[in-house]
Chains A and B, each alone.
Chain A
Amino acid sequence: MASLSEEVLLVVKKVRQRKQDGTLYLMAERIAWGPEGKDRFTVSHLYADIRCQKISPDGKAKIQLQLILHTGESTTFHFSNESSALKDRDAAKELLQQLLPKFKKKANKELEEKNRMLQEDPVLFQLYKDLVVSQVISADEFWANRLGDMNNSDPTPYNNKQDVGISGAFLADIRPQTDGCNGLRYNLTADIIESIFRTYPAVKQKYGENVPHNLTEKEFWTRFFQSHYFHRDRINTGTQDIFSECAKQDEKGLKSMVVQGVKNPLVDLLSLEDKTLDEGYGVSTTTPSTSNANRTVKESSNAAIIKRFNHHKVPFFFSSETSSTDGNSRDSDFFQPPVKKVRLQEAIEYEDLQRENRLKTVALNLKKSDRYAHGPVPLQSQHYTTSQDIINSVNHIRHEMVNYKPNLTQVLSSTAASSAITALSPGGVLMMTGTQQAINQMIPTEVQGELKHLYAAAGELLRHFWSCFPVNSPFLEEKVMKMKTNLERFQMTKLCPFQEKIQRQYLSTNLTGHLEEMLQTAYSKFHVWQTRRMLRKT
């Protein structure tokens, strides 16, 4: 079982699992464990299946590593080599840490995508059930075509993914837990780290500078959570704090933004007042002096907290720059006065005092407006009748009408006419044979539903089948053969039982006629192709 072709990245001996000694192997695509003395793995997980790893805290007697799978199951390994247990575990952890994200992203993305498609599209879901779950075709085959389709034909809505902002509560979510002996433990996930980096770019920079050559990752985060920078209300501990610089950088960023000012003139407090009193005039409101010297420690820590709230979200909580709601905000730099005017007009507008609340419409954006104006131009314009022709024919018809005289002797009697009309009206004698309304009345809905599914499934298979033509590559040849067998299998496992069923219920048998016809056409096409191929080969 232990296929040697796989690349083994790490082997750790003396690892216990379920109280059994054994060896842990980390390979290119999976992690596996085999009991001592046997050459097979009793535990084997693909990296893609693993949701996360957890390790036992330092200082615990047992040194363990736990893997949690997407399914919710978990496996715990206990490193029992007395001398190097910790080292072994960390080596395994580090390696996993590097490997897992690679697989995670890939696996997740695809799974998510498939899941989403199935959820959004009930028809597809039914199709999936009919074809894959009942094993007419394999899941890979089913998706191969689909996903490709999706990526090629309609890429815009998916590739152009909306950026997600950072949850306002992510800081609240990294509440530390006590580890039982007067210490704190922070659980960091890749998402949280990402959020921290996006919120505090200065920290990201520090991370790049210091990890791993100056500090280990763990040390880095420990210092971060101890730092004044993170807490703000704590007193600055001094210069050895590597984050003290970050605060200064932030300050600078904030200042530059403040200098830039705001775009919306109605919220600009600086230009709010027309005239501030000259210096020395006015009732002095004893403005608290802002120089730091005068402020108590408490006051300045309060101010720091406030600053943090105003600042840390300023650039980052709104995902990227496209956050502004009106697409014009970029333009507003160039057209300042109109923006102001629009804002003012909005501010003085009383929509309910106006008569028509005209719907605010979106301007039609035409790339080629002349095409819109003219419509499609016919290719053969010479067939057009001239206006003179039209006038002539109108005159002609008018002339005919003037001279029209009904030939009353040859007309039906009124009774005969009315009976003919009744016969031809819906429900009349002559309309009885029409099957149009009969089909949905005669056949139970359950059968109808089944028929619909059959149509959908057959359509899907046939689509696969026909998409192989023209067969011009070995791959397509193989596929067309396979599709033919699929079609046959479909007919055997799905269509035939259905036919028998409707026969048992004495329903009109030609319900499936059209389906069979479609299949027959496909078969004959296949035969034609096959005979031709044989001919060519011989």
Chain B
Amino acid sequence: MKLNIDGLLVYFPYDYIYPEQYSYMLELKRTLDAKGHGVLEMPSGTGKTISLLSLIVAYQKAFPLEVTKLIYCSRTVPEIEKVVEELRKLMEFYCKQTGESNNFLALALSSRKNLCIHPEIMHANIVVYSYHYLLDPKIADLVSKELAKKSVVVFDEAHNIDNVCIDSMSVNITRRTLDRCQNNVDTLQNTISKIKETDAAKLKEEYRRLVEGLKEANVARETDVYLANPVLPDEILQEAVPGTIRTAEHFVGFLRRFMEYLKSRLRVHHVVQESTPQFLKDIFEKVCIDRKPLRFCAERLQSLLRTLEIADIADFSAVTLIANFATLVSTYSQGFTIIIEPFEDRTPTIANPVLHFSCMDPSIAIKPVFQRFQSVVITSGTLSPLDIYPRILDFRPVTMASFTMTLARTCLCPLIVGRGNDQVALSSKFETREDFAVIRNYGNLLLEMSAIVPDGIVAFFTSYMYMENIVASWYEQGILENIQRNKLIFIETPDAAETSMALEKYQEACENGRGAILLSVARGKVSEGIDFVHHFGRAVIMFGVPYVYTQSRILKARLEYLRDHFQIRENDFLTFDAMRHAAQCVGRAIRGKTDYGLMIFADKRYARADKRGKLPRWIQEHISDGSLNLTVDEAIQLSKHFLRQMAQPFRQEDQLGLSLLTLEQLESEEVLQKIAKIAHQT
């Protein structure tokens, strides 16, 4: 159908539309009009992607000078492929409606294999790729730096975007890294001396270029051609490469010294934590390395590798890592911390020293994106609470909205099970983690669910360790065997290949009617990337609140940083983080309005307002006061009732006018008023 979104003609490749899609497009248009950034939360399965694509493509067609490009970033390969598929559908619809052949160029980058697309990216109207291509400075520099300023950037499934940012800026150095780096440096040395004999002019030419400085890059940035690289700060662009590392041999010597210093640092026997200025002071005192040459390290190494015409850069990943670390550590005095651990906490007898250089401020990596592009939209099914994202990513959005799911029948049933049938409080909190009563009651819950829920059940635990312990205890108590009377059991393991196979078998068991249970882990690969549509997931059980492992020093440092710089209390952040993962897990089961599923939160702490309030609005609004602290039996009764209702036939007519609109209905005043209530502005 053809829609009128606030004066913009939008081609929408379906005959009907969900009211929230209309509302979503309105908000999106407002964001684009204002040339600002937006944060939009809409439940999965309500056609978020197609709404985004329809509106932005229409916008591009209507105002080709205002918006020249859409950069669509998603997280996983299947997600990216789905986007491309939806785009194809939209384009076909355009062709059919307008009769014109498609003059839109869309491009999907989904693997490193087909990375060489430089010129094409410049001309494509739509680029679809993974976050890393834009956020990771190492890749962004190759792929994305020439993207036009007047682009709209969309981060879909963005609930974890802060972690992606942090990951892309953090470095870990082990003894192995240094050993490999040593080899790299040796190879460099040899190559240099060889070239010197054969082609000394080449090295001289490089030297001349370095004296000129990084003028090119500077000109480019000033003229606004490139996306800024956070590893290459502004100041160094104005300067020439310092003399100490200008010749190739000197630079290699410099690297050796730096490496030796790092080796000495790894020889510690106790944990060391320090800030970047402390580290720089120490390195100056010990080996007389100045801050300035360190800052040029990454750039200087690139130049050297180019000059030496080394084809396979992958072999030099270790030395590149060290050089990147040098540049980062000397560039940022804030937002990073250095932690040196001589051994793993769990195995204090085995020496395995690691230097963690961790980024604590996600805004560093994403800052260039917000600065450069006129509109950046962050969207996902679970972004609650909305206001935290602008804070931790340090940007000012023009629109922030959360959309509910309009439903003709309540197809999701969130229940909070707080007690066992013996009134024992259920919780995964540390004190009761080993408590047999809790473990038994959890087992009982799963057992009873396995008897009443058809087809697939997915259960999430807070961590692998916790899951292993519980599974072992259930096994000893014979609970698992009883569950197997009802359904087959599959368990996620840290091995991705093995888990993939378990997943496939799980789906097979659901398909052929045998029914299955998948035991999985929040924050694991399954919880992040696999959907359990329809019969693949009729119930999701979340055992416990998936808090992150709080004893890690890196996390502690990050929490402190958040408190000091963003005024976010530690507990608030931890709860927010736990709840977004819980929401991700339970959201896996509902993938549309024709789908249905139970969402069981098995921990009494979910009943508290500070936890519950951080769930997405579309889940929260279905938690009634009566379902806050249920026993296992009560939950079973409610579930039975729910499943029986859901098993009734559900037709399109049931939805029409309520959660599904025709074009005519969309034009009526009454409906428009209703739609206005869907978006919840914050």
Within 8 A of A (CB), among B438-456: none
**Sampled A-B contacts (13; CB under 8 Å):** A169-B481, A169-B484, A233-B475, A258-B497, A270-B496, A280-B171, A280-B174, A281-B172, A286-B345, A288-B494, A310-B491, A314-B501, A344-B85
Contacts A168-B484, A280-B321; is A263 near B529 (CB within 8 Å)? no
CB of B482 within 8 Å of the partner chain? yes
Chain B, Cβ-Cβ closest to A270: B496
Q: Which chain A residues border B133 with CB–CB below 8 Å?
A: 275
| Distance of B467 from chain A, by nearest CB (Å) | 8
Chain B interface size band reads: 35 or more
- In the assembled complex, the Cα of A262 lies from the Cα of B503 at a distance in Å of 9
Known: A233-B476, A280-B171, A282-B170. A269 touches B652 (CB 8 A): no
Cβ of A274 and Cβ of B80 under 8 Å apart? yes
A287 proximal to B (CB < 8 A): yes
CA distance A165 to B468 in the complex (A): 28
Complex Cα distance, B139 from A464, in Å, reads 86
A165: min CB distance to chain B, Å: 7
Given that A263-B504, A269-B500, A283-B554 are contacting pairs, would A288 and B346 also be in contact in the complex, using a CB cutoff of 8 Å?
Answer: yes
Which B residues, 139 to 181, have Cβ-Cβ distances below 8 Å to chain A?
139, 163, 166-168, 170-174, 177
Which residues does chain A contribute within 8 Å of B318, judged by CB atoms? 280
Whether the Cβ atoms of A306 and B471 lie closer than 8 Å is: yes
List 19 other contacts, CB 8 Å, given A258-B495, A262-B501, A310-B491.
A171-B481, A233-B476, A262-B500, A262-B503, A266-B530, A272-B529, A273-B77, A274-B77, A278-B317, A288-B464, A305-B471, A309-B471, A309-B491, A313-B488, A318-B514, A325-B512, A344-B78, A347-B82, A350-B14
Q: Is the CB of A165 within 8 A of B660?
A: no
List residues of chain B with CB under 8 Å of any chain A CB. Answer: 14-18, 47, 49-50, 75-78, 80-82, 85-86, 89, 110-112, 129-130, 132-133, 136, 138-139, 163, 166-168, 170-174, 177, 317-318, 321, 344-347, 350, 354, 356, 358-359, 464-465, 468-469, 471-472, 475-476, 478, 480-482, 484-491, 493-505, 507-509, 511-512, 514, 525-526, 529-531, 533, 552, 554, 592-594, 652, 655, 660
Interface string of A340-366 (1 = CB under 8 A from B): 110011011011111101000000000
Contacts of B530 on A, CB cut-off 8 Å?
266-267, 269
User: Once the chains are docked, how many angstroms separate the CA of A25 from the CA of B253?
Assistant: 99
A289 at the interface (CB under 8 A from B): yes
The distance from the CB of A307 to the nearest CB of chain B, in whole angstroms, is 8
B485: chain A residues at CB < 8 Å are 167-169, 172
| A337 CB to nearest B CB, Å | 11
For B347, the chain A residues whose CB sits under 8 A away are 289, 294
User: In residues 303-321 of chain A, which contact B (Cβ within 8 Å)?
Assistant: 303, 305-307, 309-310, 313-314, 317-318
Contacts of B47 in A (CB 8 A): 350, 353
A236 in the interface (beta carbon within 8 A): no
A269-B499, A325-B512 given; A280·B317 CB < 8 A: yes
Identify which of B15, B358, B472 contacts A233 (C-beta below 8 A): B472
> How many Å from the CB of A255 to the closest CB on chain B?
9
Q: Does any Cβ of B come within 8 Å of A141's Cβ? A: no
Residues of B close to A266: CB separation below 8 A: 78, 530-531
Q: Is the CB of A257 within 8 A of B501?
A: yes
**Measured between alpha carbons, how far is A406 from B540 in the docked complex, in Å?**
83
| Chain A residues, Cβ within 8 Å of B14 | 350, 353-354
Kindly list chain B residues whose C-beta atoms are within 8 Å of the C-beta of A262: 500-501, 503-504
Chain A contact residue count (CB 8 A cutoff): 70
Give bound CA distance, A281 to B321, whole Å: 8
Question: Which residues from A are CB-within-8-Å of B168?
Answer: 277, 281-282
A271 within 8 A of B: yes
Distance (whole angstroms) from the CB of B315 to the closest CB of chain A: 12
Residue of B nearest to A307 (CB): B493
Are A350 and B592 touching (Cβ within 8 A)?
yes
Q: Which residues from A are CB-within-8-Å of B504?
A: 262-264, 267
Are B593 and A352 in contact, CB atoms less than 8 angstroms apart? yes
CA distance A298 to B512 in the complex (A): 36
Candidates A171, A302, A351; contact of B469 at CB < 8 Å: A302
Chain A residues in 8 Å Cβ range of B503: 262, 267, 269
Given A280-B317, A348-B86, A353-B15, A265 contacting B500 (CB threshold 8 A): no
CB pair B89 A348 closer than 8 Å:
yes
- How many A-B residue pairs lie within 8 Å, measured between CB atoms? 231
B501 contacts A275, C-beta separation under 8 Å:
no
Cβ contact within 8 Å between A352 and B484: no
Least Cβ distance of A518 to chain B in Å? 49
C-alpha spacing A263/B507, complex, angstroms: 12
Contacts of A281 in B (CB 8 A): 138, 167-168, 170-172, 321
In the assembly, what is the distance between CA of A262 and CA of B507, in Å?
A: 12
| A310: contacting residue among B111, B173, B490, B525, CB under 8 A | B490
Judge whether B529 and A269 touch: CB under 8 Å: yes
What residue in chain A is nearest B346 (Cβ atoms)?
A: A288
User: In the bound complex, do residue A355 and residue B529 qualify as a contact, i.e. CB atoms below 8 Å apart?
Assistant: no
A324 at the interface (CB under 8 A from B): yes
A177 CB to closest chain B CB (Å) equals: 14
Flag if A324 contacts B317 (CB, 8 Å): no
Is A261 positioned at the interface, with any CB of B under 8 Å from its CB?
Answer: yes
Q: How far is the CB of A326 from chain B (nearest CB, A)?
A: 8
**5 tightest A-B CB contacts, nearest first:** A172-B481, A274-B130, A169-B485, A355-B15, A168-B484
Residue of A nearest to B86 (CB): A348
With A310-B490, A317-B488 already in contact, the answer to whether A273 and B76 are too (CB < 8 A) is yes
Q: A323 interface residue, CB < 8 Å from B? A: yes
Q: Are B493 and A269 in contact (CB under 8 A)?
A: no
CA distance A324 to B510 in the complex (A): 11
State in angstroms the CA–CA spacing of A79 and B91 once bound together.
87
Measured between alpha carbons, how far is A263 from B139 in the docked complex, in Å?
30
| A293 CB, nearest partner CB in chain B, Å | 9
- Give complex CA distance A510, B199 in Å: 123
Q: How far is the CA of A283 from the CA of B336 in the complex (A)?
A: 12
Whether the pair B497, A283 counts as a contact (CB closer than 8 A) is no
Residues of A near B499 (CB, < 8 A) are: 269
Which of A169, A272, A307 has the largest count of B CB atoms less than 10 A from its CB? A272
Which residues of chain A have C-beta atoms less than 8 A from B502's C-beta?
310
Instruction: Chain B residues near A259: list those with CB within 8 A.
Output: 497
Q: Which of A258, A287, A351 touches B501 (beta carbons < 8 Å)?
A: A258
- Nearest chain B CB to A18's CB is how many angstroms away? 40
Contact call B18/A353, Cβ cutoff below 8 A: yes
Question: Do B508 and A324 have beta carbons less than 8 Å apart?
Answer: yes
Kindly list chain A residues whose C-beta atoms are within 8 Å of the C-beta of B489: 309
> Of all chain A residues, which has the CB nearest B470?
A302
- Tell me which residues across on chain B come within 8 A of A282, comparing CB atoms: 167-168, 170, 172
Rounded to whole Å, the gap between the CB of B170 and the closest CB of chain A is 5
Query: Which residues on A sit within 8 Å (CB–CB) of B173?
Result: 280
The winner among B167, B359, B486 for most chain A CB atoms within 10 A is B167
**Of B501, B512, B660, which one neighbours A323 at CB under 8 angstroms?**
B512
Task: Pick the contact of A348: B76, B85, B136 (CB < 8 A).
Answer: B85
Give every chain B residue within 8 A of A268 (Cβ-Cβ).
500
Q: Whole-angstrom distance between the alpha carbons of A314 and B497 in the complex?
A: 14
B163: A residues at CB distance < 8 A = 283
B525, A269: Cβ atoms closer than 8 Å: yes
Q: Does A202 contact B (CB under 8 A)?
A: no
- Enumerate chain A residues within 8 angstroms of B593, measured Cβ to Cβ: 352
The answer to whether B508 touches A318, judged by C-beta atoms less than 8 angstroms apart, is yes
Smallest CB–CB gap between A475 and chain B, Å?
Answer: 48
Within the assembled complex, what's the spacing in Å between the Cα atoms of A352 and B662?
12
Q: Provide the residues of chain B in CB contact with A258, threshold 8 Å.
A: 495, 497-498, 501
Q: A281-B321, A306-B468 are in contact. Are A325 and B481 (CB under 8 A)?
A: no
Q: Look across to chain B and name the residue whose beta carbon is closest to the beta carbon of A170.
A: B484
CB distance from A434 to the nearest CB of B (A): 46
Closest to B530 in A: A267
CB distance from A250 to the nearest CB of B (A): 13
B484 to chain A minimum Cβ distance, whole angstroms, is 4
Cβ contacts under 8 Å, B78 to chain A:
265-266, 272, 344, 347
Residues in B with CB closer than 8 Å to A340 are 81
